[in-house]
Amino acid sequence: MNGRHTLAASHLGVAVAAFGVASIMGLLQALSIADVAFPFRSESLYYIAVTAHGVLMALVFTTFFIMGLGYVFSQESLGHISGRGVAWLGFSVAVIGSVMAAITILRGQSTVLYTFYPPMQAHPLFYIGATLLVVGSWIWGGVMIASYRSWRRQHAGIPVPLSIHGMLATVIVWFLATAGLAAEVVGLLIPWSLGLVEKIDPLLARTYFWWFGHPLVYFMLLPAYVLWYYVLPRIAGGRLFSDPLARMVFILFVVLSTPVGFHHQFTDPGIGAGWKLAHTVTTYAVLYPSLVTAFTVIASLEVAGRMKGATGLFNWIKQLPWADPFFSSVALGMIAFVFGGFGGAINAAYAMNAMVHNTAWIHGHFHVTLGTTVALTFMGATYWLLPRLIARELRFGWLARIQPYLWISGMIVFSTSYHIAGLRGMPRRVYSGTLTGEYGASWQSLTMVAALGAVLLFLSALAFVTVVTATWIAGRRIQAPPFEFAVPLQPVTRIGVWDRFGVWTAVALILLAVAYGHPLYTLLTHTRYGSPPFQPF
């Protein structure tokens, strides 16, 4: 073990463990929807699997990976982690919270899905566990900021390394987003689940949830972008094409990530059409930094190909290290993001959203964006991180090399089927895709194809977990390879407008207040009745 990185490695370990359990749950779901008979198949198991898969993948795997990655960059780019003891405390709090929530889910006491919409009510320890996970991540955010500040005191006037710039943006997005979650969970759900208050307003809770729920995906995406900008060009043997534009991209996410939640609530009552339109504007605006990212990252890869001697228009692509599992993971994830991004643009237009809202299209969509772009980037980065963190050689390198290709193959089959099924009206989150009559028949074959995709995805997940586990316990001990990062074509030497985090955070807060202030005021001041709890599981 590389002592300076024990903290990061521990986070990575929890992330991979959560990913492994969640993968099994994913397979069970897809088989169940397709009506494939397997032992212990039941409605209860299916909905528990949906809940566990969502919570473990979207909240536990990602959060722990991102926290670990943040500590790696803090150590490597800043040279230190300020408050290592506090960081361990945050880790412990997050682990305890995750385990608490996971136990109540697996015991069937919190089958409320990862959206946990009231008045469906989970076990109080589910909400408290989720809160502790977030509190742990807040401590991480505090440590990241403290580490940056202490670096800044010794390095006045020069721009912070791009990795830390991106991680600071991630931390700020996370604080802005989780404020909404705290309002929901601490303000409404925990008192209600403990019986301290009798009723809850489901629409208010949904509004707070989506204040958190959409920026959550940028919390996952930004660390992936850090890896694309700051590590990938190096792996490919090139240079970062433009450092200042990368800084602009992260700042645009700080500003635009949070005031977008209503695009998840287009079909909800009680929120004005004008406010839904306002959130639509910000939702499309936040496409822009991703489009810029596409250029910069691909240009960086072209630089790599040309540095290796490619001369034609496209043959630089052949020069890229497609056998490197980190490179291929990210490259495949980026290709998926072209389709996922445009799918997102469709979802954000409410005339089209009405066709696909809550249909199988939606989980088809986010398995392309989060389930491919983000998940592949994180898995690929794990292959890159592991030898550097624990000083062991990757075991089963051949398995790691085919794993990303297996994942993308499975996902194409899986996701395309569900997109089509959704357009044919199949609802999401159903124990069986058969339902009744002729519609069920038109969905059934698609769910079978999707189940085949899920089997491929599961095999890929199994390969990933096998490589990580084997490396951890039986990888050959080596001198930890050094962390090497991408060098920009033109180094940035002075602090510019995109380095002013304080100002941009203030802008983000103002936008957030504008986007949510009036709609929340309207909801809170209207006559409301509230709902008692239900536990139909």
Partner 1 sequence: MNVDLYERIWMWSAGVIVVLFLGTIFVMAGAQAVHPPSHLETVDPTALADHPEFGNPAVSTRPDGTVVVPVVASMFAFAPDPIEVPANRPVVFRLTSGDVVHGFQIVGTNANAMAIPGYVSQFTFTFTKPGEHLITCNEYCGLVHHAMVGRLIVKGAQ
Taking residues 346 to 365 in sequence order and writing x for each that binds partner 1 by CB under 8 A, - otherwise, the string is: ---xxx-xxx-xxx------
Measured from the CB atom, the residue of 479 and 525 that comes closer to partner 1 is 525
Residue 318: CB minimum distance to partner 1, A: 21
Does 284 bind partner 1 (CB under 8 A)? Our answer is yes
Rounded Cα–Cα distance for residues 489 and 512 (Å): 36
Residue 283: CB minimum distance to partner 1, A: 9
Rounded Cα–Cα distance for residues 211 and 112 (Å): 19
Measured from the CB atom, the residue of 272 and 517 that comes closer to partner 1 is 272
Residue labelled with tokens 């949906």: 50
| Footprint (CB under 8 A) of partner 1, residues 370-399 | none
Given the residues 247, 365, 401, 419, select the one marked as catalytic. Answer: 365
Does 273 bind partner 1 (CB under 8 A)? Our answer is yes
Q: Could you give the C-alpha distances from 248 to 46, 70, 254, 293, in angstroms and in order?
A: 43, 20, 10, 10
**Which pair of tokens denotes residue 521?**
């005021």
Contact, 134 vs 96, CB < 8 A? no
SS3 string of 455-472?
HHHHHHHHHHHHHHHHHH
Measured from the CB atom, the residue of 88 and 284 that comes closer to partner 1 is 284
Cβ-based neighbour number of residue 404 at 10 Å: 28
Contact, 531 vs 117, CB < 8 A? no
Does 425 bind partner 1 (CB under 8 A)? Our answer is yes
Contact region with partner 1 (CB under 8 A), list: 215-223, 312-320, 402-410, 428-436: 428-436
Residue from 276, 363, 367, 401 in contact with partner 1 (CB under 8 A): 276
Amino acid code (one letter) for 488: P
Given the residues 367, 392, 401, 419, select the one marked as catalytic. Answer: 367
Residue 295: CB minimum distance to partner 1, A: 5
**Which pair of tokens denotes residue 353?**
């959203």
264 is catalytic: no
Contact, 51 vs 111, CB < 8 A? yes
Closest C-alpha to 329, from 254, 224, 434: 224
Given the residues 71, 116, 366, 378, select the one marked as catalytic. Answer: 366
| Footprint (CB under 8 A) of partner 1, residues 30-49 | 43-44, 47
Does 119 bind partner 1 (CB under 8 A)? Our answer is yes
**Which pair of tokens denotes residue 392?**
């062991």
Measured from the CB atom, the residue of 198 and 484 that comes closer to partner 1 is 198
Does 163 bind partner 1 (CB under 8 A)? Our answer is no
Rounded Cα–Cα distance for residues 463 and 119 (Å): 40
Q: Could you give the C-alpha distances from 198 to 119, 192, 237, 534, in angstroms and in order?
A: 11, 6, 61, 12
Contact, 34 vs 450, CB < 8 A? yes
Given the residues 218, 219, 229, 250, select the one marked as catalytic. Answer: 218
DSSP state, residue 323: T
First to last CA, the chain: 44
Does 106 bind partner 1 (CB under 8 A)? Our answer is no
Residue from 96, 245, 310, 448 in contact with partner 1 (CB under 8 A): 245
Taking residues 435 to 474 in sequence order and writing x for each that binds partner 1 by CB under 8 A, - otherwise, the string is: xxx-x-----------------------------------
Measured from the CB atom, the residue of 152 and 429 that comes closer to partner 1 is 429
Rounded Cα–Cα distance for residues 105 and 9 (Å): 26
428 is catalytic: yes
Taking residues 57 to 96 in sequence order and writing x for each that binds partner 1 by CB under 8 A, - otherwise, the string is: ----------------------------------------
| Footprint (CB under 8 A) of partner 1, residues 285-304 | 285, 287-288, 291-292, 295-296, 299
Rounded Cα–Cα distance for residues 383 and 10 (Å): 15
Residue 332: CB minimum distance to partner 1, A: 22
Q: Tell me the β-bridge partners of 427.
A: 359
**Which pair of tokens denotes residue 178?**
């989780």
Measured from the CB atom, the residue of 69 and 113 that comes closer to partner 1 is 113
Residue from 142, 237, 244, 321 in contact with partner 1 (CB under 8 A): 244
Residues in contact with partner 1, total (CB under 8 A)?
Answer: 77
Rounded Cα–Cα distance for residues 345 and 179 (Å): 26
Contact region with partner 1 (CB under 8 A), list: 109-117, 151-159, 326-334, 386-394: 109-117
Does 306 bind partner 1 (CB under 8 A)? Our answer is no
Residue from 16, 34, 93, 113 in contact with partner 1 (CB under 8 A): 113
| Footprint (CB under 8 A) of partner 1, residues 514-533 | 522-523, 526-532
401 is catalytic: no
Contact, 213 vs 367, CB < 8 A? no
Rounded Cα–Cα distance for residues 170 and 176 (Å): 10
Residue from 58, 122, 183, 203 in contact with partner 1 (CB under 8 A): 203
**Which pair of tokens denotes residue 304?**
């790599």
Contacts of residue 151, defined as CB under 8 A and 6 or more positions apart, other chains included, come to 78, 79, 80, 160, 164
Measured from the CB atom, the residue of 237 and 427 that comes closer to partner 1 is 427
Residue 70: CB minimum distance to partner 1, A: 27
Rounded Cα–Cα distance for residues 335 and 59 (Å): 24
Q: Is 294 exposed, middle or buried (0-12, 13-18, 19+ CB in 10 A)?
A: middle
Contact region with partner 1 (CB under 8 A), list: 122-130, 278-286, 398-406, 411-419: 278-286
**Which pair of tokens denotes residue 37?**
């008979």
Measured from the CB atom, the residue of 187 and 532 that comes closer to partner 1 is 532
Residue 533: CB minimum distance to partner 1, A: 9
Write out the catalytic residue numbers: 214, 218, 365-367, 428-429
